[in-house]
Amino acid sequence: MTLLEVQGLSKRFGGVQAVKDVSFGVEKGTIKAVIGPNGAGKTTLFDLVSGFRAPDAGTVRLRDVPVQGRPPHAIAALGMSRTFQNIKLFGHMTALENVMVGRHVRSRAGFLGGMLQPPGTRREEREIALAALEAMDFLGVRELADAPAGSLAYGQQRAVELARALAGGPEILLLDEPAAGLNMRETADLAKLVVRIRDRGVTVLLVEHDMSLVMGICDEVVVLCFGEKIAEAAPRDVQRNPDVVRVYLGE
C-alpha cells in the first residue's frame, strides 16, 4: 500500500526552480531516502510534503487524502511527523515537556480543560506523560526527562527531537538530514535506530547527505538534481546508475 504519494510536485522561488515535476511514492512499512547534492531541492521537497510551503503545482496524498497546501498542523494530525535539519527543540522546556508536545496531535484538552482540570483532562495528561516517557525509553533518553532541553549535548538533543517526533505515534516520519553533525560511529547507531523505528511500524522518509546511512538501510532511494528526479531505485541500482555517478562524482 502506498502511504505517501507525491505527484508532479513543483516549486519556484523567483528565478530558481527549486523542485520540478517530482513524483514518487512511499510504501507503508519501508524506509525511503531522498538524496542529492547541495541545492538539489531536498529540503524544499520536504517542506512541500509537510505543509511548510505550498507547491506551485502537483499533489501530495497521505493515505489517499490530498494534503498539498494544507497547514503543517493539519497534516500532522493526519499522521505525519518530522524532524529538522538544525534541531528545533523548545530550549526553555524540559526534555520531557518537549516530548509531551509531540503528543499534541493525539490529545484534545483545550483552554477550558486546561484551566478547570476536569478528571478527563487529568487522565489525558497522564496518558500524554506515559506516551512521552515510552518514546524517551525507546530512544534511551528517559533519564534526561527533567533536564532543560537547551542544556543537552548535541547527540542527546537529536534523540529528544526524535522522541518528540515519535511520541504522537505517526504513520510516517520525515527525517531531515538526521546524520548531520554526527561522527561515523554515531551515524552507524542512527542507522540501527531508523531500522528499529521502521520495525515499530513507522514508515520513514529521510533526506540525507550521508551515503553510508542511506545505502545500508533504505529500501528505495530517490535522487534529486537541480530540483528534478534523475533516478529512483534500490540503493544498489542507484549506485550503478550513470546519471547518479555523474552528478556525484563529476564526468
Partner 1 sequence: MRLPRRVQVGAFAAAVVGVQLLAQAAGKGFFLTQLTMTAYYTLVVLGLSLLMGYAGQISLGQAGFFAIGGYTTAALTTLDLSPHRGQALVGALARARVLAARPDLFGGEVLSVEPWVAFALAVGLGAAVAVAIGIPVLRLKGHYLAMATLAFGTIVSSVLVGTQALGAADGISGVPAFALVPGLRVSGSSADRLRNYYLAWGLVAAAMWLLLNLIHSRIGRALGAIHGAEDAARAMGVDVARLKLQTFVLAAVMATVAGSLLTHYNGGIGPSEASVLKSVRYVAVVAVGGMGSLWGTLAASSVLNFLSLRGYFGTWDDAVFGAILVLVMLFAPEGILHANLRAVLRPLGIGRGGEEGA
Binding site for partner 1 (CB under 8 A): 50, 52, 71-73, 76-77, 81-82, 84, 88-93, 97-98, 100-102, 104-105, 107, 109-111, 113-117, 121, 124-125, 128, 164-165, 168
Q: How far is the CB of 73 from partner 1 (least distance, A)?
A: 5
CB of 60 or CB of 76, closer to partner 1: 76
Q: How far is the CB of 62 from partner 1 (least distance, A)?
A: 14
Give the orientation angle of helix 154-167 with respect to helix 119-139, to 10 degrees: 130
At residue 76's C-alpha, the angle toward residues 218 and 196, to 5°, is 30
Give residues with Cβ within 8 angstroms of 160, minimum separation 6.
Answer: 89, 95, 98, 99, 136, 139, 141, 144, 149, 152
CB of 176 or CB of 232, closer to partner 1: 176
Q: How far is the CB of 163 from partner 1 (least distance, A)?
A: 12
Q: How far is the CB of 78 from partner 1 (least distance, A)?
A: 10
**3-state SS of 107-153?**
CCCCHHHHHHCCHHHHHHHHHHHHHHHHHHHHHCCHHHCCCEHHHCC
Q: How far is the CB of 230 from partner 1 (least distance, A)?
A: 28
Q: For residues 28 and 1, is the Cβ–Cβ distance under 8 A?
A: yes
CB of 128 or CB of 247, closer to partner 1: 128
CB of 81 or CB of 187, closer to partner 1: 81
CB of 52 or CB of 226, closer to partner 1: 52
Cell (9 digits) for 123:
487522565
CB of 138 or CB of 231, closer to partner 1: 138
Q: How far is the CB of 171 from partner 1 (least distance, A)?
A: 13
Q: How far is CA 177 from CA 8, 13, 181, in A?
A: 23, 22, 9
Cell (9 digits) for 159:
534523540
